[in-house]
């Protein structure tokens, strides 16, 4: 396929050390203000992840109602989930909720679906086994597709169908594939493909999935444009050494947990790394030019990405001023360095 300039998005982790509901509401409000600011900068999309319960890194249980609130303060920016944990959802209820949110947001909802590698400890609370998450995903995504396509929900001539109409949501589905087989399935279904920040290596893990997805999508949907979003942690600063000094106190204590989480998803390469080695392998860091160089050389992006999503994470309370500063760098320095120009929302 001919490569077009990448669309530019960002992802946010919601964190607050407080359990007071008013403090949580304040953080949500500040995040929505940050999304509105990103829209002013011309950034194409924002993606929020679903992390259940207080034992996850940045708990945020319900992206869809939050995105409705974000839609009231924005008019153009794409509002996406990256991801919704499909094995823990009822696919019909998710279809109904997504169809309503699609109507309320003017078609700006893009629903990203995943198996829930960041929510493994929460499966038991839902009465599910984390070991069955891939099988659960497979049958639930099939049911979700059917509902959104308007197929009868039960047998019979007068069988009910989804309302509101879900066909626009169906066109805006994404799958965060964790295997070649799932990437192929996403392509055959006409869904977009999301590739995350560190669950598997960009070269041996993600690039082959992107290639397999594109081949399957071309075979099944030759008249449609494929969608491949690559998510990467981004730490921008004056230079690599400066960024290393800034993030080492934060990342150092967390590296073991990050490595263990990646290993559960099939990537053991993060174990035993120093902070510098981790930065060289996983995130994009350094000056805007350093980061632009990494974007240009990333194997998964080179394999056929359409969207580059900068993942901004926070250790403690969400810092709106910090988030705005990072968005400024993304939109005014990194974006132009990779050939990006402000454009309309994804359609």
pLDDT in tens, 115-134: 998 888 899 999 999 999 99
- Structure confidence by residue, pLDDT tens digits, 219-248: 999 999 999 999 999 999 999 999 999 999
Average pLDDT score, the chain: 93
Task: Give the pair of three-digit tokens for residue 3.
Answer: 């490569």
Burial 162-173 (b: 16+ CB within 10 A, else e): beeebebbbbbb
Chain centroid to CA 85: 11
Interatomic CA distance for residues 122 and 240, integer angstroms: 37
Q: What is the pLDDT of residue 343?
A: 66
Q: How many residues are recorded in the chain?
A: 347
What percent of the chain has pLDDT above 70? 97
Interatomic CA distance for residues 199 and 178, integer angstroms: 8
pLDDT over 80 at 96, yes or no: yes
Whole-prediction pTM: 0.95
Q: What is the pLDDT of residue 2?
A: 46
**pLDDT band for position 97 (50/70/90)?**
very high
Q: What is the pLDDT of residue 3?
A: 61
């Amino acid at each position: 396929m001919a490569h077009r300039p990448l669309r530019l998005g960002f992802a946010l982790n919601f964190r607050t050390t407080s359990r007071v509901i008013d403090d949580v509401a304040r953080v949500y409000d500040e995040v929505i203000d940050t999304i509105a600011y990103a829209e002013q900068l011309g950034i194409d999309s924002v993606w929020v992840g679903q992390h259940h319960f207080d034992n996850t890194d940045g708990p945020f249980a319900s992206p869809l109602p939050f995105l409705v609130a974000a839609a009231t303060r924005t008019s153009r920016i794409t509002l996406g989930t990256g991801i919704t944990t499909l094995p823990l959802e009822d696919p019909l209820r998710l279809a109904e909720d997504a169809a309503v949110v699609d109507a309320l947001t003017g078609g700006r909802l893009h629903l990203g679906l995943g198996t829930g590698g960041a929510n493994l400890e929460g499966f038991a609370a839902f009465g599910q086994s984390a070991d069955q998450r891939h099988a659960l995903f497979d049958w639930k995504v099939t049911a979700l597709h059917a509902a959104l396509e308007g197929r009868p929900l039960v047998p019979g001539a007068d069988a009910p169908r989804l309302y509101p109409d879900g066909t626009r949501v169906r066109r805006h589905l994404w799958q965060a594939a964790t295997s070649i087989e799932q990437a192929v399935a996403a392509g055959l279904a006409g869904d977009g493909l999301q590739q995350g920040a560190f669950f598997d290596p960009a070269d041996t893990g993600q690039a082959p999935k992107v290639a397999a997805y594109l081949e399957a999508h071309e075979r099944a949907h030759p008249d449609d444009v494929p969608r491949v979003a690559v998510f990467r942690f981004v730490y921008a600063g004056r230079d690599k050494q400066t960024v290393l000094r800034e993030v080492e106190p934060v990342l150092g204590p967390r590296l073991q947990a990050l490595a263990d989480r990646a290993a559960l998803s099939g990537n053991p390469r993060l174990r035993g790394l120093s902070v510098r080695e981790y930065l060289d392998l996983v995130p994009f860091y350094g000056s805007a030019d350093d980061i632009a160089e990494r974007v240009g050389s990333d194997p998964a992006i080179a394999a056929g990405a359409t969207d580059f999503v900068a993942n901004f994470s926070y250790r403690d309370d969400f810092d709106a001023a910090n988030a705005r500063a990072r968005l400024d760098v993304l939109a005014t320095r990194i974006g132009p360095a990779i050939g990006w120009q402000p454009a309309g929302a994804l359609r």
